[in-house]
Amino acid sequence: MRSFARPVAIALAAFCVFINLYAPQSLLPLVAREFGVGAVESSRLISSTTLAVALIAPFTGAVADMLGRKRVIVAAMFALILPTLLVAFAPTLGQMVFWRFVQGLLLPPVFVVTVAYIGDELPPAQAAGMAGLYTAASCFGGFFGRFISGILAGPFGLRGAFLGLALITLAAALGVLMLLPREKNFVPNRSLRMALSHMVGHVLDPNLAATFAVGFGVLFNFVGLFTYVSFHLAAPPFNLSAAALGTIFVVYLSGVLTTPLTGRLVRRFGRRNFVLAAMTFWVAGLMLTLSGSLAIIILGLVLASGAGFFCQATSTGYVAISAQRARSSAVGLYVTAYYVGGSFGALLPGYAWNWAGWPGVIASLLVMLAIIAAMVLCFWRDGGARRPAPASPGL
């Protein structure tokens, strides 16, 4: 039983983060109706959380380096329960957005420190497998949060959906408290000042800066696609309910299948060629969503989702290879750019939605794909040392 405790605890931590991060996506049409607002206004339930994650992520690792791993993870998971409950009871959209922002502040202390825990406590061969488990649990959590919130909203309404998420978070926090072994290889008291100086160097490195831009674009497109497809499919001629919209997010499970293949495909085709090919499939998936057939739209979402996970895993690995020192802070900056992209992806395509509906959203996502493809063409190079990539921050 003891041998299963750590993997289960790590999976619960990853699952807990991502059920909360994107859960409202299947509820946004319901939010818009309840508060009498448009798509852009209701999408703030997503953008506020991803913005908070972006603001706090670079500093989380440095703080945990002073305080320890398990205590930070567990404290953040229990603290996360309160704002989740307060979202459920918030009487106005503005208050819901505020408490979603607070949720976002508490997520990096879970997922960033869990990744650090894996690197500290396990030898490289085991760490690779545990990082794969972490990524798979993240993907499943991203799906399940969207799915269960949509299912719960049917009989229990918008508030009941968030209460359900709070109960799941409580169960996950108790599981991690009981099952996660306390760290043994932790060395405290690294210099915060040195970590900040390394961050400046990373930003000034062209290869890394371009990769941060790729991360920005990847989550911009993911959040933009899956936020506004809810509005598209809730409208005529599809008229899907919140429960049906939650079910659509089963396409996210493609990440569980695709992510473990990334390393093998990169070695075969080269990092730059592979990610450009994945972007081509992403374009094809986006174009399929313009169909009037629900089945073809779902196929397009599966294709776009799988391609996005490939791009995300590849670009995260490229950060680890490109950074010559302080790789943890480089990954932290990548996470920041990534979630800033998610915040903009929740908002800017909304204006395209208001202007031209679903085709306008797809056009905005295609423009972003063209930009990040240019970054890869201009700045990425294959070769270099083969270092193991950190776990993906998740989609």
H or E, element range at 7: helix 2-21
Quote the CA–CA distance of 331 and 321 in Å, as a whole number: 11
- What's the predicted TM-score (pTM) here? 0.79
Longest dimension (CA), the chain: 59
Quote the CA–CA distance of 188 and 62 in Å, as a whole number: 10
Provide the 3-class DSSP secondary structure of residue 191.
Answer: coil
Quote the CA–CA distance of 22 and 131 in Å, as a whole number: 21
**Of 388, 391, 393, whose CA–CA distance to 125 is shortest?**
388
Q: Report which residue type is found at 146.
A: R
End-to-end Cα spacing for the chain: 31
Say which residue the tokens 């990534």 belong to: 338
> In order of start, what are the domains of the chain with their CATH numbers?
2-181+190-379 (1.20.1250.20)
- What is the DSSP secondary-structure string of 138-173? HHHHHHHHHHHHHHHHHHHHHHHHHHHHHHHHHHHH
Say which residue the tokens 């969503």 belong to: 289
Provide the 3-class DSSP secondary structure of residue 1.
Answer: coil
Structure token pair of residue 360:
């306008």
Quote the CA–CA distance of 245 and 161 in Å, as a whole number: 14
Quote the CA–CA distance of 43 and 47 in Å, as a whole number: 6
Q: Report which residue type is found at 93.
A: L
Say which residue the tokens 């950074």 belong to: 323
Quote the CA–CA distance of 338 and 38 in Å, as a whole number: 25
15-21-23 Cα angle (round to 5): 90
Structure token pair of residue 34:
């309840």
pLDDT, one tens digit for every residue, the chain (395 residues): 457 889 999 999 999 999 999 899 889 999 999 999 998 899 999 989 989 998 888 777 667 666 778 888 999 999 999 999 999 999 999 999 999 999 999 998 898 788 778 777 877 667 656 766 777 788 889 889 989 998 999 889 999 999 999 999 999 999 999 999 988 876 665 555 666 666 677 777 788 888 899 999 999 999 999 999 999 999 999 999 888 888 888 887 877 777 777 777 887 888 889 999 999 999 999 999 999 999 999 999 999 998 998 888 788 777 766 666 655 567 678 888 888 898 899 889 999 999 999 999 999 999 999 999 999 999 887 654 444 445 556 66
* Neighbour-count burial of 184, counting CB atoms closer than 10 A to its CB (0-12 exposed, 13-18 middle, 19+ buried): exposed
Which stretches does DSSP call E strand in 183-242? none
Structure token pair of residue 392:
């993906």
Quote the CA–CA distance of 153 and 160 in Å, as a whole number: 6
